[in-house]
Amino acid sequence: MSSGLSDSGKGAGLMGPQSNKKVWAIGGGKGGVGKSLVTANISICLALMGYKVVAVDLDLGGANLHTCLGLPIPELTLSDYVSKKVTRFEDLLVKTPIPNLMIVSGAQDEIGIANLKHMHKNKIISKLHDVDADFILFDLGAGTSFNTVDFFISADRGILVSLPEPTSIENTYRFIKTVYYRRLKMLEGFLDIEPLINQAMNAKLSSPNSSPTDMVRKVIEINPQMGMRLRQEIARFQPCLILNQVRSQADIDIGFSIQSVCRRYFGIEMDYVGYLDHDAAVWQSVKKRKPLLMEFPNSKLVHHFDRIVHRLLGVS
Ligand SMILES: Nc1ncnc2c1ncn2[C@@H]1O[C@H](COP(=O)(O)OP(=O)(O)O)[C@@H](O)[C@H]1O
Ligand SMILES: [Mg+2]
């Protein structure tokens, strides 16, 4: 196991003396890109470092985080809370064989996240943020439904997982665009600039002078105060990116291209926090129903996870 993971001293030093809990959401537009794998293994890394971690499966239509953690389907799931079978949210927390790591399981029935009513969603978001832990990780489902996007926005840090292939990259941009738009829509005074924003959102990536960054420039000309507010909101949107299943240096470099498109087109600073190799160890561990990080602690992939977690913690 690489050095960082066996460090049991979690130390306030890593998070600063006023540290309190952090909520990280792992999303990305497409299914099957490795969101659950990433959530599971980042959670294990943090737990092994001594942090108290709760991983939450919010892929309510296709919950499988438990499998990546090598667990059977937990008895109580979020759908039992939504259906009021369980009234105390804390009762959904299930222990795992890994010390410091607990899981809240997603639904196993047809209650898709897209169908979660507004009120339920807000309640679940607030309950999740109240959970007693150092880190709460959200494993989001595919797609750009309002609910998935709102879980993502509610987090302190949004982490996008993408594959280095066109369909996944397109979905990543689509996800970013949806989050970007939804954040701006929440701004006070949005209605005054809605037509301009809609125009920018409907423009193609390639169309000249109509990107979101051009839109912000136009708003600043028309209404400087609103324009500055837009700029501030956009500056606060700093998603992280993990490229999964890379097979070459060219694949790794795609992360930098995505970063540069985001800067030019959306005017946002994306943090490319690392990549993960395509590795047969993943399906071998899934097949054995064991978490990758525990089954292959010396693999290259686990070393990559270690690097990513240190980067996310701001210590490398
Ligand atoms: N780095 C990788 N190397 C090899 N296979 C991978 C890798 N990441 C993911 N996979 C495969 O892709 C499948 C989907 O991963 P998963 O984490 O369930 O995706 P998501 O949660 O985004 O739908 C996994 O079962 C695994 O077999
Ligand atoms: Mg998943």
* CATH at residue 105: 3.40.50.300
What is the Cα–Cα distance from 89 to 124, expressed in whole angstroms? 9
Among all bound ligands, the one having the nearest atom to the CA of 289 is 1
How many structural domains comprise the chain?
1
Cα of 95 from ligand 1 centre, angstroms = 23
- What does pLDDT average to over the chain? 87
Single out the residue of 68, 43, 40 nearest to residue 283, CA to CA.
Answer: 68
Q: How buried is residue 207: exposed, middle or buried, by Cβ count under 10 Å (0-12/13-18/19+)?
A: exposed
Q: Which atom of ligand 1 is nearest to the CA of 244?
A: 1
SS3 state at 208 = coil
Does some domain include residue 184? no
Cα of 43 from ligand 1 centre, angstroms = 16
- What is the residue whose two structure tokens read 């659950």? 36
pLDDT given for residue 18 in this prediction: 44
Among all bound ligands, the one having the nearest atom to the CA of 279 is 1
Judge whether residue 242 has pLDDT over 80: yes
Mean pLDDT of 93-104: 95
Residue nearest to atom 8 of ligand 1 (CA): 34
Task: Tell me the best of 26, 37, 288 to mutate to test the pocket of ligand 1, counting ligand atoms within 8 Å of each CB and taking the most.
Answer: 37
Q: Which atom of ligand 1 is nearest to the CA of 245?
A: 1
Least confident of 19-33, 105-119, 157-171, 274-288: 105-119
Band the pLDDT of 316: cuts 50, 70, 90: low
Q: Which atom of ligand 1 is nearest to the CA of 33?
A: 22
Which protein residues touch ligand 1 with a CB less than 6 Å away?
31-37, 64, 244-245, 276, 278-279, 282-283, 286
What is the Cα–Cα distance from 70 to 82, expressed in whole angstroms? 25
Does some domain include residue 125? yes
Residue nearest to atom 3 of ligand 1 (CA): 278
pLDDT given for residue 216 in this prediction: 87
pLDDT given for residue 1 in this prediction: 37
Does some domain include residue 196? no
Considering the chain, what percentage of its residues have pLDDT values greater than 70? 91
Mean pLDDT of 63-79: 88
Tokens matching residue 289? 């129903």
Among all bound ligands, the one having the nearest atom to the CA of 33 is 1
What is the Cα–Cα distance from 310 to 316, expressed in whole angstroms? 6
Residue nearest to atom 15 of ligand 1 (CA): 34
Quote the domain boundaries for residue 152: 23-162+279-309
pLDDT given for residue 293 in this prediction: 86
H/E stretch holding 159 reads: strand 157-162
Does some domain include residue 65? yes
Cα of 184 from ligand 2 centre, angstroms = 28
Cα of 141 from ligand 2 centre, angstroms = 6
Band the pLDDT of 255: cuts 50, 70, 90: very high
Does some domain include residue 216? no
Does some domain include residue 256? no
Residue nearest to atom 27 of ligand 1 (CA): 283
Does some domain include residue 301? yes
Cα of 33 from ligand 2 centre, angstroms = 8
Cα of 139 from ligand 2 centre, angstroms = 7
pLDDT given for residue 108 in this prediction: 66
Mean pLDDT of 95-122: 81
Cα of 40 from ligand 1 centre, angstroms = 11
Band the pLDDT of 258: cuts 50, 70, 90: very high
What is the Cα–Cα distance from 242 to 263, expressed in whole angstroms? 17
Does some domain include residue 257? no
Cα of 35 from ligand 1 centre, angstroms = 7
- Residue pLDDT, tens place only, 109-127: 665 555 678 888 899 999 9
